[in-house]
């Protein structure tokens, strides 16, 4: 691996959920990229959740 990661929405959610494997892999990353569509999906999900304010702040 070259240390560069392109994250999808599921991996970002796993990171927010403190999944150890995801955090371990990302701790070794030299660069992390998040596509704009993933950001949009996160905000969409946050707005539909029961904790919209907290989730939006977390993003």
Contact criterion met (CB below 8 Å) for 38 and 15: no
Q: Would the CA dihedral through 24, 44, 37, 59 be positive or negative?
A: negative
* Continuous segment of H or E residues that includes residue 31: strand 31-33
Mean pLDDT, rounded, for 28-46: 97
Contact criterion met (CB below 8 Å) for 22 and 15: yes
Q: What is the pTM of this model?
A: 0.85
Please give the domain boundaries of the chain with CATH numbers for all domains: 4-58 (3.40.50.1010)
Helix (H, G, I), strand (E, B) or coil at 20: helix
pLDDT level of residue 1 (50, 70, 90 thresholds): low
Name the residue with higher pLDDT: 2 or 23.
23
């Amino acid at each position: 691996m070259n240390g560069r990661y392109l994250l999808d929405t599921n991996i970002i959610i796993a990171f927010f959920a403190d999944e150890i494997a995801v955090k371990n892999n990302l701790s070794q990353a030299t660069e992390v990229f998040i596509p704009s569509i993933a950001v949009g999906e996160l905000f969409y999900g946050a707005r539909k959740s029961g904790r919209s304010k907290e989730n939006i702040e977390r993003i």
